[in-house]
Amino acid sequence: AETELILVADKQIAPCDGCAACETTGECVYQDDMSALLQKMAGSQVWVLGTPVYWWGPTAQFKVYLDRWYSKSFLPEDKAIFRGRRVVLAIPMGDSDPRTARNVVGMFEDALHFSEAILFATILAPGVDRLGEVRTHGEVMARAREAGREAVAT
């Protein structure tokens, strides 16, 4: 599969302010990097979305990105960006208890269901505190590789 790594923390994405303009137009009032990200998402069959658990939730940068999906959730023609897309979640966390990710996983389950995307796999990586540390967790890496292979093959 062809892949591209996008770090939302490196993008300029304005937070949704609830103005509701998108409910009638299908477009967000902000002109920022989110439009290009949505175009990339529309052109992809599988999305691998990842965020570490920060205080029982996703990172602030990831939450801003996810909140902006809202602008494409009202008009049926806009919802096509999400409909049927296979999504693999990758969620590292410092805590060794996988239940620490329950709010992040639940948020994704609900958002993906609402937007008609398919939660294909959830890969939790408990006990991972530092960037790149997950590479030392062979079982997690094997599950992630297998989920990616299956998501692309489906």
- The rounded mean pLDDT for the chain is 92
Express as a percent the part of the chain with pLDDT over 90. 77
The amino acid at 107: M
Q: Which two tokens stand for residue 35?
A: 């439009």
Per-residue pLDDT of 31-61, as tens digits, reads: 999 999 999 999 999 999 999 999 999 999 9
pLDDT, average across residues 97-126: 95
- For residue 130, what is the DSSP state? S
The two tokens of residue 91 are: 């969620």
pLDDT of residue 144: 95
Give the residue from 89, 117, 115 showing the smallest Cα distance to 102: 89
What is the per-residue pLDDT across 89-106, written as a single tens digit (0 to 9) for each? 999 999 999 999 999 999
- 101 closest CA partner among 126, 84, 80: 126
Residue 72: pLDDT above 90? no
Distances in Å between the Cα of 79 and the Cα atoms of 26, 74, 107, 109, 128 are 9, 7, 18, 16, 34
Task: Please give the structure tokens belonging to residue 41.
Answer: 């998402």
Going by the DSSP 8-state scheme, the letter that residue 43 receives in this structure is T
